[in-house]
Amino acid sequence: MIVHKERVRPAAWSERRKKISRGWVVPFVALEWVWEWTAWGLSNWKFIEVLEYMETFSVLVVVIFYFSETGDRIKQRHYQAWQVINTAQGKGGSGGRIEALQELNADKVPLVGVDVSSAFLQGVRLVRANLVRADFSSADLRGSDFHGSDLGNSDLASSNFRAARLDDCKLTDADLRDADLNGASLAGADLEGAELDDADLRYADLKGIAWAHLKSVKGTNIAGARNLPAGFAEWALKNGAVDQAGAE
């Protein structure tokens, strides 16, 4: 709110001049006196007051437009992120896809069916993401974080999940054939219907995994795997898994 105080009318120059004892100060005081009269004159000019109100109003209009267009800016940002992902589809390297995927997931955008096969996505953070039917085949996902994400029916064949975090992930019916899960954490992961043929589970944390309905584990290496559920090792070895610590 603009509050205007009434200015006191400046004294006449003759009165001001009497108070000046040093001659060299006169020009400076005269200049100040001129500005005082100018300020007093403008303070009584209503047009100036109207301009001030208009300036305040224009700021308010800008703020209103800014917030009213927030949705459009978010949509534009999402469109650009998807453009980055789709343009680089099938190519190696990152191509800005790490940032694009993380931004979309942070805004709760479903990433269903996203295709980032063969991409370099080392260290990507996609916590609690909706990645149903996604294609991460042959992607480099070392040190990534997919904690609590839904990767059901996803293609993860030949992907590199070394030292990745897949705790509480939903991996139902996922294709994990030949996937490198060495040192990864799959604690609490749901592997119902998943294919793990030739996957590397060495030193992986398998605490509390749902494995009763695993589709296949032929050639899966479980050497050094930690926190194996009761009966899992016996069942896996019986169904084609191997325990070869030095194998590559």
Whether 211 and 154 share a structural domain: yes
The answer to which of 10-14, 69-73, 218-222 has the lowest mean pLDDT is: 69-73
Domain CATH code at residue 110: 2.160.20.80
* 30 and 151 together in one domain: no
* Alpha-carbon gap, residue 247 to 140, rounded angstroms: 20
Show the tokens assigned to 109.
């955008």
Nearest residue to 165 (alpha-carbon basis) of 186, 190, 180: 186
Rounded distance between C-alpha atoms, residue 139 and residue 89, angstroms: 12
Per-residue pLDDT tens over the stretch 191-243: 999 999 999 999 999 999 999 999 999 999 999 999 999 999 999 999 999 99
- Phi-psi category of residue 121: left, alpha or beta, with phi > 0 → left and psi -120 to 50 → alpha: alpha
Q: Are 100 and 37 contained in the same domain? A: no
Higher pLDDT among residues 43 and 209, named by residue: 209
Let me know whether 95 and 47 are in one domain. Answer: no
pLDDT greater than 70 at residue 170: yes
Q: Examine residue 86 and state whether it is found in any structural domain, yes or no.
A: no
Q: How many domains does the chain have?
A: 2
Question: Is residue 79, in this structure, part of any structural domain at all?
Answer: no
Judge whether 5 lies within some domain.
no
The boundaries of the domain holding residue 116 are 91-242
**Assigned domain for 167 exists:** yes
Do 168 and 216 fall within a single domain?
yes
Tokens of 88: 């680089």
pLDDT 10s digits, 81-133: 999 999 888 777 788 999 999 999 999 999 999 999 999 999 999 999 999 99
Which has the higher per-residue pLDDT, 48 or 28?
28
Name the more confident of 175 and 21. Answer: 175
101 and 186, same domain (yes or no): yes
Q: Is residue 83 part of a domain?
A: no
Do 58 and 95 reside in the same domain of the chain?
no
Residue 214, class by beta-carbon neighbours within 10 Å (0-12 exposed, 13-18 middle, 19+ buried)?
buried
Q: Let me know if residue 73 belongs to a domain.
A: no
Return phi, psi of residue 180, to 5°.
-95, 105
143/39 same-domain check: no
pLDDT the model gives residue 42: 64
In a shared domain, residues 52 and 161: no
Kindly state whether residues 121 and 48 are assigned to the same domain. no
Do 54 and 112 share a domain, yes or no? no
Residue-wise pLDDT for 132-152, tens only, equals 999 999 999 999 999 999 999
Report how far residue 99's alpha carbon sits from residue 83's, in angstroms, rounded to the nearest whole number. 12
0.85 exceeded by pTM: no
Per-residue pLDDT, 93: 79
Residues 123 and 211 in one domain: yes
